[in-house]
Amino acid sequence: MTKIKLLIHAEDGSFPHLSEYLLRKYFNPKDETIKDHFILGIAVKDTCIQPIYTAKESKKKRKRQESDGEEKKVAPKPTGYTFDTATLHEQTRLMEGYNTFAVPSFDLVDDAKVQMEKDASNRLKNPQKNSTKEGQKSIASVTSTKNHLSLITPNGLQQITPELYTQVGNKLKCDHLLALFDQANLEEGKKRKAAACERSKAWLGLCQKSHQSTTECKSKLWAAFSCHDSKWTLNDSIQYITEYKQSLEGIAIVGLHHVQSRAERKDLVKKISSSFNPKPALAMLAVPDLSQLFDAVECGTEIISTSLPVTWARSNKLFNVLKVKSEEVGSDGCIDLSDEKYARDTSPLLEGCQCMSCRDSRYNKAYVHHLIKANELLAQILLFGHNLFQLLTLFKEELSSDDLDLSKVRELYE
Amino acid sequence: METKVTWESRKRNREDGADDNLDDTKRAATDTNEEKAKVKSSTDVPTASQFIVPADQFLSLPPELQDVDFTKRVSWRKFAPYTKEVLPLTPEGQEPEFKEDSPALCFHVHATSGRARATTLHLPSSRKVQTPIFMPVGTKGTIKALTTEEICNDPALNCPIILGNTYHLALQPGTELVRDMGGLHKFMRWDRGILTDSGGFQMVSLLKLAEITEDGVEFENPFLKDSKERMMLRPEDSITHQNNIGSDIMMALDDVVSSVTDNDERFEIATYRTLRWLDRCYAAHTRPKEQNLFAIVQGGLDTKVGGLREKCLAGFRARDKMIPGYAIGGLAGGESKEDFWKVVNQCCKSLPDDKPRYLMGVGYPLDLVVCSALGVDMYDCVYPTRTARFGVALVPGEAPGTLRLKSNEFSEDTRVIMEGCECAACKGGYSRARLHTLLKRNNPLAATLMTNHNIAYMMYLVRGMRKAIMEDRYASYVKDFINDQFRGSANGGQDVPEWVRDALNEAGIKV
């Protein structure tokens, strides 16, 4: 029986939304389900970014301080940022015992798109600073050179070399480590795609070398397979990953969701898995919806990374209410609790659910609806707790079942 | 010079505002029915018109106070150290006995230490509150960023009572809905104490266009911005809302005047009106066996013999039988600390020792320590929870007793907020640097951890205060606290503020 695992991004190295008190009670790493079906994704871009302080003082400041007579305690400002870390627990105080998977980022192109939107909205706010020309088509692009990748971090764009990345990744002591990779936007030209492929190849080599030379306890190394397009770079990628096959735990497919056609996506994964013998362990990063999640399971993916429980919670959605009132449920398997019709709905969030928000018929729909309307953070906490529990239940009870009939599961949701 | 201009212009504005209110009060009393009909009340409960007086009597002493000798200080049922008589104490753990004149509250005083007291409020449904107590504010039916489970079961929090805001709950989701859901306890899954305010304070503080008339507080419904429809919150409405919410302790609607208003006449009107509105509140109260209705002492900063605070207190003395507990109101509104402690002091000296005293809207740790020495039992304030979300952690030690964790100076500080603290952040080993990072990134977990710490700190504080009172060493507890916060300018710290020295001196504690 394959135990399909859900990989959730631990934003800033923290379990999203839940305090240790709730984690111990409801998502304890010692629980069977958590052990078998849950992995926390640690992104180096937001977990390992550290400020640098260099003892530099401007003349002006020094003069001012001198004239003040007494020495004032001035809070230093970081002069730059770098990537460094201690072990994951020391660095973030994340509860110990979870399966963990360190990655540079879950999808570099998605990061670039978010950044571009942010920049655009900033430009709207400050039209004077608008430097891009009107009508100029811009593509969200990942910045990289032969020697480094520019990661989009909470402290801006920061360069990381494959050596530094592996060093930092090893220090985290996560169970799994994804090698540094480059990723081209599908809309970019052949040249950029070829360069990205070339860099991913070189960086995998460097990562593998530095990983091998580490004497301490090691994370299992994964290679990233960036999906640029179905023809152009595919064979090149397959070829270079095959070279390192022996030292790899598996292959993480990155950016598949950018490929628009479902058939093309399926083809691509089929080609990847059939090109290796024996079949490699597959992980799929940044799966955007349930349909693609089921496709991933169908292709034999073991680890599926998705931000669905968080995005559902942030958009007021309650997952897996299919068995209750199917007519209200959207195609994503959710109901939108911000809908006015739940204002007086005293029924529990989900009958029979044993999650932190539902068990002992704890909270009803009307209360969570009220929290949403009142813009209370507790709404997100309760919804996230429920959605994660339900998605894990789906992974454990249906997707990992021996007699899995995916078409039946699909029918329920689509 | 600049401050003077600002102050004067502010004062002028306030006077204008107050005059507007005066005009309106007069107008409301003489208005035709036609004009009144424009203002819709938020509930259908009729006004108890027997308690309404015409505008020309707004400044007349209420009939029940006409025989009171205002040359003497007003006080009733006082025991040691106020008088020589000894207060009968009840041992901890004694079962409550609800009496006919206080069917929803049984108040036990277990110990006193000077004027400070350790008590238990037994509420219906076996809920009990040990004092001194700080009540975290759960404005809209939740303590922001925490689940009720954590607030109850996390030993560092374990709060016995929280506060809900009637005004906010009336706007969203509406108190009829809360009532239909079985009351706020059931709605938010909280089986412990809830205290609700009357809603009047928010109307006056949040809404610029609120006007107070004899009938109630008239305001523009903020949810109906376009229609310009005006709404009315009468004492009857406030109580109906609170009856709907089902809180264990309700507060009477009072005529709130900002403590820094400079208009004696307005204060006098407000004081007498507060008495009349209290009668209307009790007349509208439909669940006296399940819910307590506390009265709020008003009267501005006038603490002199025969002053407005005394008049209000004398009015309450005349109504004492129906009042299960008292609150001190009209403070925490920008008045000087000198004025503040004098009002608290006078109210505590007057109010009976066999009923609880609640100081509204007060919540700095220093205020709690000082006011408990003066005899206050209960406190509430948004400060610890709100400031937590802004990244400020409460800590013992040197004044101001806070850490602004968003500041860069904490970006490499590997210590936890407070050594030995049992909260989720400190016990979980979250360093100041880690919290700094989470706060800077707006990670929602930061709000949860910081709120958890600040409530845990307030609970640690009140538990320490209670223990010291039970062991009759509150004076030394206070001295330690004060000496820790104010280490003196000679030692590079701050000196003890004059008001703290004076207030504690009054309570018999010399620092």
B452 and B350 inside one domain: no
Shortest Cα distance, chain B CAs vs residue A167, angstroms = 21
Tell which wins on pLDDT, B250 or A213: B250
- The answer to the question of residue B15 being in a domain is yes
- Laid out side by side, the sheet with B127-131 consists of B106-113, B116-123, B127-131
Whether residue A66 is predicted with pLDDT greater than 80 in this model: the reply is: no
Residue positions counted in chain B = 511
Whether residue A278 is predicted with pLDDT greater than 90 in this model: the reply is: no
CA dihedral A34, A38, A42, A47 (to 10 degrees): -40
- The answer to the question of residue B89 being in a domain is yes
pLDDT digits (tens, 9 = 90+) for B102-155: 999 999 999 999 999 999 999 999 999 999 999 999 999 999 999 999 999 999
Say whether B197 is catalytic. yes
Helix (H, G, I), strand (E, B) or coil at B461: helix
Among chain B residues, the shortest Cα distance to A347 is held by B181
What pLDDT is recorded for position A328?
A: 74
Hey, is the C-beta of A92 within 8 angstroms of any chain B C-beta? yes
- The answer to the question of residue B185 being in a domain is no
B377 and B397 inside one domain: no
% of chain A beyond a pLDDT of 90: 63
- The answer to the question of residue B102 being in a domain is yes
pLDDT band at A67; cut points 50, 70, 90: low
What pLDDT is recorded for position A136?
A: 54
Q: What residues of B are in contact with residue A78 (Cβ under 8 Å)?
A: 408, 411
What pLDDT is recorded for position B146?
A: 97
The reply to whether B426 sits in an annotated binding site is: yes
Q: What residues of A are in contact with residue B434 (Cβ under 8 Å)?
A: 91-93
Whether residue A82 is predicted with pLDDT greater than 80 in this model: the reply is: yes
pLDDT digits (tens, 9 = 90+) for A29-65: 999 999 999 999 999 999 999 888 876 555 555 555 5
What is the C-alpha radius of gyration for chain B, rounded to an integer number of angstroms? 23
Residue type, B55: A
Compute φ and ψ for A214, nearest 5 degrees.
Answer: -70, 130
B261 and B347 inside one domain: yes
- The answer to the question of residue B499 being in a domain is no
Nearest CB to B140 within list A366, A369, A376: A376
- The answer to the question of residue B273 being in a domain is yes
Where in B405-458 does DSSP place strands (E)? none
Average pLDDT, chain A: 88
What pLDDT is recorded for position B211?
A: 85
What pLDDT is recorded for position B390?
A: 97
Instruction: Select from B305, B297, B295 the least CA-distant residue to B270.
Output: B297
B368 and B439 inside one domain: no
B117 and B261 inside one domain: yes
In terms of phi and psi (left: phi > 0; alpha: psi -120 to 50; beta: otherwise), the region of B438 is alpha
Alpha-carbon distance of A9 to A19, in angstroms, equals 16
CA–CA–CA angle B82, B85, B87 (5° rounding): 85
Nearest CB to B181 within list A14, A46, A346: A346
Residues of chain B with pLDDT under 70: 1-39, 207-208, 222-228
Say whether B302 is catalytic. no
Which domains can be identified in chain A, with CATH numbers? 5-51+78-121+142-306 (3.20.20.105), 316-388 (no CATH)
pLDDT band at A139; cut points 50, 70, 90: confident
Number of domains, chain B = 3
What pLDDT is recorded for position A395?
A: 94
Alpha-carbon distance of B5 to A411, in angstroms, equals 73
pLDDT digits (tens, 9 = 90+) for A142-155: 999 999 999 999 99
B265 and B351 inside one domain: yes
B276 and B343 inside one domain: yes
User: Region A268-295: what's the mean pLDDT?
Assistant: 92
B288 and B374 inside one domain: yes
B398 and B447 inside one domain: yes
B425 and B348 inside one domain: no
Residue that is last in its domain, among B359, B381, B403: B381
ipTM (interface pTM): 0.92
First to last CA, chain A: 25
**CB contact at 8 A, B157 and B456:** yes
Hey, is the C-beta of A374 within 8 angstroms of any chain B C-beta? yes
- The answer to the question of residue B152 being in a domain is no
**CB contact at 8 A, B147 and B189:** no
Provide the CATH number for the domain around residue B294.
3.20.20.105
B406 and B436 inside one domain: yes
Residue type, A379: A
Hey, is the C-beta of B145 within 8 angstroms of any chain A C-beta? yes
Instruction: Select from A339, A283, A334 the least CA-distant residue to A308.
Output: A334
pLDDT digits (tens, 9 = 90+) for A158-205: 999 999 999 999 999 999 999 999 999 998 988 999 999 999 999 999
The reply to whether B421 sits in an annotated binding site is: yes
Hey, is the C-beta of A24 within 8 angstroms of any chain B C-beta? no
What pLDDT is recorded for position B37?
A: 43
- The answer to the question of residue B392 being in a domain is yes
Identify the active-site residue in B154, B197, B248, B302. Answer: B197
Bridge-based pairing state of the strands A250-254 and A220-226: parallel
The answer to whether the Cβ–Cβ distance between A11 and B431 falls below 8 Å is no
B355 and B422 inside one domain: no
Q: Which domain holds residue B121?
A: 68-130+256-381
pLDDT band at A332; cut points 50, 70, 90: confident
Hey, is the C-beta of A356 within 8 angstroms of any chain B C-beta? yes
Helix (H, G, I), strand (E, B) or coil at B283: helix
Q: What residues of B are in contact with residue A343 (Cβ under 8 Å)?
A: 173, 177
